[in-house]
Amino acid sequence: MNQIKCVCIDIDGTLTDPYFFIPILNEITGKNLTKDDYTSINWLDTYGPDYSEMYKTFDDEYSYVYKTSTIVEGAKNVIENLKARGIEIHYVTARSKSIHDITAQWIADQGLDPNRVHSLGGNHGKVEAAKELGCDVFIEDDPNNAKNLAEAGYKVILMDTNYNKGVSGNNITRVNGWDQVKDIIIN
């Protein structure tokens, strides 16, 4: 990719394991789902109508969960490599604004810049955030966000998951890990 000055990175499912939430959600819902069952990001599809509204309050009611996740292998090294090349990095998350401090602290705990966290409070603002930040490439796992960003003209690196298998198109490059992210951006 040519002349990349700014990369935006989603957090959940991109910097963290995309299936990190499954044991926690299984405990809350009494289900016993595995990552093979996790083929939709829509909680109504995944957990049924009894839990379809849980997504709206999850960040506030279960904010402690975000403190326990870990960064996926290779992510920090790639981010440091990109920064060393003068590429600006922003962490753009759909997490609630009410847990911004928890999110920023988690980023800091990973050795990354907490001042670059943008908490949107939902998925609806990622295209606008990309525009405001001057994003050249957006690293994402959410199928809807990936499609919306790509349709708006942004290059999207899509982290491969069971719930985004059907996503492809112009401006979308699917990867299996952070080594591939590095290869795409730097080469």
* Catalytic residue list: 10, 12
**3-state SS assignment for residue 48:** coil
Q: Are 39 and 162 in contact (CB under 8 A)?
A: yes
Q: Which two tokens stand for residue 67?
A: 């403190």
Residue ranges in the chain assigned as alpha helix (H): 22-29, 43-47, 54-61, 75-84, 100-109, 126-133, 143-151, 178-186
Nearest to 129 by CA among 104, 152, 158: 152
Measure the CA–CA gap between 120 and 97, rounded to whole angstroms: 6
Strand partners, 6: 88
